[in-house]
Amino acid sequence: MFPEIARDDIFRLETSRLWLRWPRAADQGSICRLAGDPEVALKTARIPHPYEAYHAEGFILAARAENASGAGLTLALTQKRQADEAIGVIGVHGANARGAGMIGFWLGRPYWGRGLMSEAAGAFIDMVFGMTGLERIVSSALPSNAASLRVHEKLGFTRTGQGKFPAPARGGEVDVELFDLRRGAIPTSFGAKRPKLQAT
């Protein structure tokens, strides 16, 4: 799905305030701490709680393997002034026969309320549509996750209904709001700077 440029771990995407880059082993501590916050984990279907070091290690290894294969792309969010510290994660996976991939994201609680996820997700989605043949990006959010619902709205996602989503971290299935974003629908105000290849 993704071209060679994104399959190398020096790939980075720049926005006004952020770098989005491959997750790496050194991110284990910050990912474990931030994803382990129940205010973050319990607003998702996939992040286990409690979240231990081995969860973060496994996540990083799996993300890097998927990135290298080009089957999906998961990037860690970092602030430009602290590019070595991951503050959240965004990724797209599972392109299907209908030309759709699924996006997922989370942001550490200390960084909420600043518009950082909208900025990151807008740039990331713009990049995904620019680099791949995907025609649609689909997503889901827990009805109780007001911040995620707002991000979807800001990015131009269309709410397509409600459904059940596999949630192994929650012990089964959860009720979710379903969303769809078609190529060309993302607001231009969230566009990214040109992706840059830089050694990290």
Residues 6+ apart with CB under 8 A from 31: 23, 56, 59, 60, 76, 86, 89
Q: Take residue 198 and report the two structure tokens written for it.
A: 């830089």
For the chain, the structural domain boundaries read 4-197
pLDDT for 58: 98
Q: Please count the CA atoms within 13 angstroms of the CA of 173 that sit on its side-chain side.
A: 7
- Specify the pTM: 0.91
Topology annotation, domain 4-197: Aminopeptidase (3.40.630)
pLDDT digits (tens, 9 = 90+) for 140-174: 999 999 999 999 999 999 999 999 988 877 888 99
Strands (E), 115-188: 136-141, 158-167, 172-182
39 phi/psi in degrees, rounded to 5: -65, -20
Q: pLDDT, tens digit, for every residue of 7-16? A: 999 999 999 9
15 vs 127: CA distance, rounded Å: 11
Is the predicted pLDDT of residue 182 greater than 50, yes or no?
yes
**Per-residue pLDDT tens digits for 59-118:** 999 999 999 999 999 999 999 999 999 999 999 998 765 689 999 999 999 999 999 999
